[in-house]
Chain A
Amino acid sequence: MKPPAFTYHRPASVADALAVLAETGPDGKVLAGGQSLVPVLNMRLAAPGHLVDINRLGELAHVTVDAGVVRVGALARHAAVERDAAAFAALPLLRQATGHVAHPAIRNRGTTVGSLVHADPAAELPAVLSLLSGSVTLASASGRRTVPAGEFFVGPLESALRPGELAVEALFPVPPKGSGTAWLEVSRRRGDFAVCGVGVLVTLSADRRVAAARAAYVSVGPTPLTVDLAEAVAGLPADTADWAAAGALAAARVRPEDDIHATAAYRRHLVAVLTARAGKAAVANA
């Protein structure tokens, strides 16, 4: 459980970081909070020749609420995002979901953007970004591009990040007025990656009917999975809508697998149950 040797870089500016990343190409890896990368190195599951530590890039530690979007910089820790009052006011889902990410010590180091790039299908934040149709801004020595969530999560532990690129910021759009969100999950132990997790976003019309309803799921597919629940609940009075039907609809769409912690059938069942519960909770929060 010791990593093979690597060259360690600690750039002082984003420009320097991009220069090192350009030079090292596929042999370079960004080190953010290290909560996922260090175990991978120690278990020798990856052996990059160069680590580019971005922890000195204070310019990327921001959590800001702009017109209709919460911007989270690459060095913003889960804990900072979770605690940020303005971000919570604009987008309660960030705190609702981040509270389920691991334990306080890990949230103090791990970054939200790192979690997105790591693209673990069991992780909360990729699902949140997908649910909100957010995006990630990637920078390289040759320029910047912004990739929407739908294209960013390519497969298990695989994002659209290319060699030489640094994810500098994630953008979480604030949903329209009259929206409510909820995050629910079942995990084996408190703070563990979820056996099944769901985030629901509902938007109500002025007469409290369901105008839009979407859900995103973790641990039931190779990437965060989003399901439009409108078919089951759109147009119905929010407080009496058939959320169980929404759950059944979602359960038919997910692609869970068996593992040592749970059967696929159980996970599918949880999708139904948690969707129904989260739907009601989201309405209550709207």
Chain B
Amino acid sequence: MTTRMFGEPIQRREDPRLVSGDGRYLDDLGQDALAAAFVRSPYAHARVTDVDVTDALDVDGLVAVYTYEDLDGRVAEPLPLLIPHPSLHAPRTGYPLANGIVRHVGEPVAMVVAVDRYVAEDVASLIRVTYEQLPVVVGIAAALRADAAVHEDVADNVAAHLVQEVGDARAAIDAAPHRLHLDLDIERSASTPLEGKGVYARWDPADRSLRVYSSTQTSTSVRFAVAAKLGIPVDRVEVVTPDVGGGFGVKIVHPWPEEVLVPWAAIRLGRPVKWTEDRREHFISSAHERAQTHAVDVGFDDDGRLHGLSVTFAHDNGAYTPYGIIAPIITSTQLLGPYKPGAYRVEFRSVYTNTVQVTPYRGAGRPQGVFVMERTMDAIARYLDLDRTVVRERNFIQPDEMPYDQGMIFQDGRPLIYDSGDYPAALDKLKKLIGWDDFAAYRDQARAEGRRVGIGIGCYVEGTGVGPYEGAHVRVETDGTVVVATGLTTQGQGHETVFAQVAAAVLGVPVEAVTVVTGDTRRFRYAVGTFASRAAVLSGNAVALAARKVRAKALRIAGEALEVDPRDLEVTDGVVHVRGTPQAQIALKTVAVLANPLRYAFDAEAARATQFAVGGSLDKPPVADDDEPGLEATDYYSPLRSTFADGMHAAIVETDPETAEITVLRYAVVHDCGRLINPRIVDGQIHGGVAQGVGGALYERLVYDDAGQLLNASFMDFLMPYASEVPVVEIDHLETPSPLNPLGVKGAGEAGVIPGAAVLASAIEDAEGIPITRMPISPSELWEARREGRR
């Protein structure tokens, strides 16, 4: 076959547009729209006693100012709780505009609409809000002390409390030959996509319809949310995602206050309104993640085999829980990684603090879980004086034990059953790739030069491709092009390329013939969204299933036209032909014409197709009862449960004996996400993930002071790594197909970031010989840790 399709590392088809400045992001749209800006709380916890707009009213260009009092209908109600959970006993969500109380710096208090954003900000700065400050809760320790409450009616600040247990972990630990206790912390970080959020809404009063553009990870859900909130028939609302400059989780939350308020104002004013979030707004008012403190008790034998593991942790969920407790649930289940823990007990509390809300950020609770498990593995190895990879290997689930039931309930409410994986093979590859067994010699040589180096490792298993479903529509046009539409959105992952490859492979057309539309509810109405490493698994399979239907129909029609058995037909480069008899053929585009008994006279294709026109029986209607016109089909893929990808990373770091600067010398990744649709794109996902992992381990941290002020709400002080901080990533793949879906694929979107903190902590600890128990770590902290002999 000449067409390059499934499994080929073809170049990303979206890149020429995106890298040459031809992308169309939210702020590129709606040049005629009014601009919105928000007055946001400067206090972490306060009662709003007065909003005085007097000074603002004479500003030229002001169109409207809204406060909570102006909101009506369901817009005045709290924002929805998207993912309830029985253990989330005290869920709380905010209002689109503060209703009397603000609970974090950045919470919206008033909305300004003006002719442009300059004027809108001028007005915002003239609105005088009177606040009566309330006691502030910052940090997990303060939340649990509960000297003050974030929500008046949640006195202990605990939003959720969940325990899962498999076997009797306490007893197993007590009975084990050896025991260790560890305290392990991860601090706050955030998705920080380069493009912040943004919403642009147009109301057409004549058509009574609303179009909303949003920089979101889920246009279909925003559509339902906006329709419900504004009381408009869903049928009159459409939501479109333009190019989106990154999401990493924060844009799966919906509806954001602005996603409700901007369309609401556009309808009220009868004019298009746009809001483009600025960087400071994004830092203080969208969402963060990661902050957790963990206490681990582990019991093991002389070989390092786990007998029992007990983890108790606290999760800082910020001021609200719109997205439920997904992140800590993932930590609690996914920390098990590729291991058999013996008896396992996990307990967590999710607590309120007067900080911006916490929702999943790429990795979503896994980086913390993997950090906990991998630090524990290293601690066991150190205690028993065993090689760290040996301890891991002895605890691995073996390939012949797959599928493996961990006996827990996963984030999707379904059993935590690993579908496939070969962990010993992955470890073997990783050791070769990084040169694990040669490292001792390298360390000695470095030492002789006065250099300090260390090697670290981290293993993970990642549940990907969570349901409930995605769908796809595939149509062959009469010019031979193929249009694929799926409802989930794209934030740079390369869906235009990957879904085209899947469709091209099934249909037998060149990949160039396929165009892909995502995240546009005008084109596909039922979808879930892009998160949880699910797009390739869910939409990839849906595209394959829909394309298979199209192919079957094409072969049937071609069979009739060529008077052959469809089973003898195959499609190559867009041409249907009889296997072994290439001269008996019909182009797919001609089949598309034949599929529609109404021969439009608009193009040459239709004219040419008449030579194949089947006479058709006069006793039958032109479109049979079980048929439809056109060469198109829709199908859905709904997985039984998540599919579990896995991977292992290793890194070599150098620490400066004097300045404590930390340099990553090498970073190696072995990754198994089942069958690879496009290795280049998977590698790209890993590169980006590793960059975020390195960021999370060595640079990024959101720092609140005790008053709840975010001290580094800018890219000046929130240290996202530059290209100069990201190591070259060496990658090797393993392809263990998933038995759960037709394509045999698993998700790859989050993998790169997951073990970053674990791997680098492992390597730094190895270089330094002092326990590393908190991440991220800066040179200053490493130096202080040296002085104290631990961190």
Contacts and interface: CB of A to CB of B under 8 A. Distances in A.
A182 to B, nearest CB: 15
A206 B122 CA distance: 65
A260 B703 contact: yes
Contacts of B712: 260
B278 interface: yes
A205 B775 CA distance: 50
A44 B125 contact: yes
A1 B280 contact: yes
B784 A265 contact: yes
Contact of A2 (B117, B279, B717): B117
Nearest to A184: B659
A189 B280 contact: no
A4 to B, nearest CB: 6
Contacts of A3: 118
B719 A188 contact: yes
A262 interface: yes
Given A5-B118, A262-B778, A270-B659, A188 B722 contact: no
A225 to B, nearest CB: 19
B699 A188 contact: yes
Interface stretch (A64-72, A108-116, A190-198): A190-198
Interface residues of A, number: 25
Given A2-B117, A189-B722, A266 B780 contact: yes
Contact of B779 (A5, A260, A266): A266
B280 A186 contact: no
A188 B661 CA distance: 9
B62 to A, nearest CB: 14
A73 to B, nearest CB: 28
Nearest to A3: B118
Q: Say whether chain A's binding surface is mostly helix, strand, loop, or mixed.
A: loop
Given A265-B784, A269-B783, A5 B122 contact: yes
A260 B712 CA distance: 8
Contacts of B699: 188-189
Interface string B772-791: 00000011100110000000
Interface in A262-280: 262-263, 265-266, 269-270, 273-274
Interface in B447-498: none
A189 B664 CA distance: 13
A13 to B, nearest CB: 31
B192 to A, nearest CB: 15
B659 A186 contact: yes
A113 B278 CA distance: 30
A103 B716 CA distance: 13
Nearest to A277: B658
Interface residues of B, number: 28
A189 B779 contact: no
Contact of A273 (B121, B658, B701, B717): B658
B745 to A, nearest CB: 36
Contact of B724 (A2, A4, A191, A260): A191
Contacts of A263: 780, 784
Contacts of B779: 186, 188, 195, 262, 266
A186 B780 CA distance: 11
Contact of A189 (B118, B701, B724): B724
A43 interface: yes
B661 A186 contact: yes
B778 A191 contact: no
Contacts of A269: 783
Contact of A261 (B280, B778, B783): B778
User: In this complex, which of A2, A262, A263 has the most chain B Cβ atoms within 10 angstroms of its Cβ?
Assistant: A2
B232 interface: no
Interface in A189-242: 189-192, 195
Contacts of B780: 195, 261-263, 266
A186 B661 CA distance: 8
B600 to A, nearest CB: 51
Contacts of B717: 260-261
A216 to B, nearest CB: 19
Contacts of B117: 2
Contacts of B661: 186
Contacts of B613: none
A172 B93 CA distance: 59
Contacts of A190: 722, 724-725
A260 B711 contact: yes
Interface in B696-733: 699, 701, 703, 711-712, 717, 719, 721-722, 724-725
A191 to B, nearest CB: 7
A266 B725 contact: no
A44 B125 CA distance: 10
B118 A2 contact: yes
6 smallest CB-CB distances across A and B, nearest first, come from A262-B780, A190-B724, A1-B278, A266-B780, A273-B658, A2-B118
Interface of A: 1-5, 43-44, 103, 186, 188-192, 195, 260-263, 265-266, 269-270, 273-274
27 contacts: A1-B121, A1-B279, A2-B118, A2-B121, A3-B118, A5-B118, A43-B280, A44-B125, A103-B722, A186-B661, A186-B779, A188-B719, A189-B699, A190-B725, A191-B724, A192-B719, A260-B703, A260-B711, A261-B719, A262-B779, A263-B780, A263-B784, A265-B784, A266-B660, A269-B783, A273-B658, A273-B659
Given A4-B121, A5-B122, A263-B784, 4 more contacts: A4-B125, A186-B779, A261-B719, A274-B659
